[in-house]
């Protein structure tokens, strides 16, 4: 974080059974780190949920597993109910494969219109136009920038969705935060949009 000039970070995909790591992350909560816990639908009634979920700033990153015959809203319903009752945003992995295409998630996003969704990687390059369309149609949706390499598509997202619903992300250790940051800061956006994306939006959303 220091080498990339990052002052605060969200740690995503934490295993809710890994209490040691959650303790380390949440001990710094409110200062430098916030925790997103990846709750499996089958575990949403487990005893540890009541203890772990109140310490989370959000849920995810998650997605419907390859080969599932269920719609995303049915597969993830137990997790979405927790997100709704706890007022926690849900981060969804998008891009790469057809089962992680943002358009697949439209029904779920619209059914759970009171839940905030974050589309990680904003569909990646393969599905970025889908991700923008879903976000335009659904005001409860944010787009996250990691791994989406096109400056032109980032500018389009700002024009069509608005800079106030785009969140900078690095997806470290998959991508380096300094590289991802350079992508956003050299995309030709104005200073206001860049400031929103680089931290003001997530600070407002997660009350960091
Ligand atoms: Zn992802």
Distance 66 CA to ligand 1 centre (A): 14
Cα 146 to middle of ligand 1, angstroms: 8
Distance 172 CA to ligand 1 centre (A): 10
Count the domains in the chain: 1
206 CA → ligand 1 middle, Å:
19
Q: Is the dihedral of CA 167, 173, 177, 182 positive or negative?
A: negative
Residue 3 lies inside a defined structural domain of this protein:
no
- Does the pLDDT value for residue 183 go beyond 90? yes
> Is there a domain that residue 167 lies in?
yes
Most confident range, picked from 67-71, 73-77, 119-123: 119-123
Residue 2 lies in a domain: no
Structural domain contains residue 4: no
Predicted confidence (pLDDT) per residue in 137-151, tens digit: 999 999 999 999 999
- Nearest C-alpha neighbor of 167 from the set 176, 180, 178: 180
Domain that holds residue 105: 9-206
pLDDT over 90 (residue 30): no
Q: Is 144:121 a contact under the CB 8 Å cutoff?
A: yes
Q: How far is the CA of 2 from the centre of ligand 1 (A)?
A: 23
Range name among 13-22, 83-92, 130-139, 145-154 with the lowest pLDDT average? 13-22
* Ligand 1 midpoint to CA 93 (Å): 4
- Ligand 1 center to 121 CA (angstroms): 7
Ligand 1 centroid–CA 191 distance in Å is: 27
CATH classification at residue 198: 3.20.20.140
> Does residue 130 fall inside a structural domain?
yes
């Amino acid at each position: 974080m220091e080498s990339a000039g990052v002052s605060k970070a969200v740690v995503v995909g934490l295993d809710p059974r890994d209490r040691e790591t959650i303790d380390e992350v949440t001990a710094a909560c409110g200062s430098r780190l916030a925790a997103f816990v990846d709750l499996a639908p089958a575990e949403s009634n487990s005893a540890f949920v009541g203890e772990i979920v109140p310490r989370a700033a959000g849920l995810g990153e998650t997605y419907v597993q390859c080969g599932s015959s269920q719609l995303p809203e049915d597969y993830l319903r137990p997790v979405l109910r927790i997100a709704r009752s706890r007022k926690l945003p849900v981060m969804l992995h998008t891009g790469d494969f057809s089962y992680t295409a943002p358009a697949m998630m439209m029904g779920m996003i619209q059914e759970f219109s009171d839940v905030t969704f974050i589309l990680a990687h904003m569909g990646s390059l393969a599905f970025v136009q889908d991700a923008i369309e879903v976000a335009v149609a659904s005001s409860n949706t944010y787009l996250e920038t990691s791994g989406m390499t096109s400056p032109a598509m980032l500018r389009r997202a700002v024009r069509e969705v608005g800079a106030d619903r785009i969140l900078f992300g690095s997806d470290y250790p998959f991508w380096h935060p300094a590289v991802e940051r350079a992508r956003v800061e050299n995309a030709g956006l104005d200073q206001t949009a860049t400031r929103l994306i680089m931290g003001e939006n997530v600070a407002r959303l997660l009350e960091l």
